[in-house]
Structure 1
Amino acid sequence: MKLTKIFTLVVLFIGTTLIAQNSDDKKVIKDAEMVKAEMIKTNKKIQTYFDDAKAYVIFPNVGKGALIVGAASGNGAVYERGTLVGMAKMKQLDIGAQIGGEAYGEVIFFKTDAALQEFMDDDLEFTGQVSAVAVKEDATLNVKYNDGVAVFTMPKGGLMAEVSVGGQKFDYTAFE
């Protein structure tokens, strides 16, 4: 009898976890599509990056907070040639003169097979040398790929003052 109750609880726990994960993924995917549409609406020139990239990942809701030490994280949807292929997680840690909090969307474009494979193998890490370009209305987007990668951000809100160094780490999970 006890074994049956334990089994039932385990099944319910696993089922609830899977449903929650799927609904979280669905929200991230929906939010990613909204961020993509908003970026294109804000600056139509970014459409060429979406069209030309081998793949891209959209982190629609990245949250960052800092007081000397800063941290950020977000979940994203990964697309290869415009087709959804998986999900990703981003974590960021940095240190320096910084204070505040902000929310933003981030898109990482992959131009080469090597850059995409590095991301999918969870080997991609950004350090202080990689800079992101903020998507602004009608701004010139002369962004060059650095090692097959280009990064764009779109501020959503908050206030952040910082001069810091750190990096981002990514975890990719493919759909089966």
Structure 2
Amino acid sequence: MKTYRFSIMLITVMLALAFSNPAQADKFTDTIETYKKSGAVQPFFKGAYGYAVFPTIGKAGIGIGGAYGKGQVYQGGKVTGGTSLIKATIGFQLGGQAFSEIIFFEDKRAYGEFTSGSFEFDAAASAVAITAGVQAKAGT
């Protein structure tokens, strides 16, 4: 019982820390600059029609879990709107993490689908590309 309470408390603290940052505008810029420094991700910035930036996504679970993050959508290097990421999971899981993510839109159609609100990921595969905390992510 003590382990369960400790786990709940730990996840609560992690999520609170993940979502508490008063310098939100700087966080978006910092995230973009960190990703741009990566040789693996840099070509995506050059070839993308637009992208969505999530400076912090908090993810936690004990059997049932979820993830949440607030982001901004960019086109031509300028903010065009806001977005959020929400995910629920069921299955074997224990723990939590906070990470950054950028979703690139290859063309106007993909950007339009995302910004119209009809965008959904069916499956995703991720791979750590850089040890400095940047992650390259591919999904369908």
RMSD across aligned positions (CA): 2.3
Which stretches in structure 1 are left out of the alignment for 5+ residues?
A: 1-23, 139-150, 154-176
Which stretches in structure 2 are left out of the alignment for 5+ residues?
A: 1-19
Runs of 4+ in 1 over 4 A off after TM superposition: none
- Provide the C-alpha distance between the structure 1 equivalents of 2:127 and 2:85, rounded to a whole number of angstroms: 18
Aligned with 2:105 (options 103, 107, 110) = 110
Aligned residues: 115
Percent identity, aligned pairs only, is 28
8 A Cα contact 1:56 1:107, kept in partner: yes
TM-score normalised by the chain length of structure 2: 0.72
Alpha-carbon distance, 1:87 to partner: 1.1
Counterpart AA for 2:136: F
SS in 2 for 1:126: coil
Aligned with 1:100 (options 92, 95, 101) = 95
Superposed, 1:17-166 pairs within 5 Å as: 27-41=23-37, 43-127=38-122, 129-137=123-131, 152=136
8 A Cα contact 1:63 1:73, kept in partner: yes
- Provide the C-alpha distance between the structure 2 equivalents of 1:74 and 1:97, rounded to a whole number of angstroms: 22
Larger Rg: 1
TM-score normalised by the chain length of structure 1: 0.59
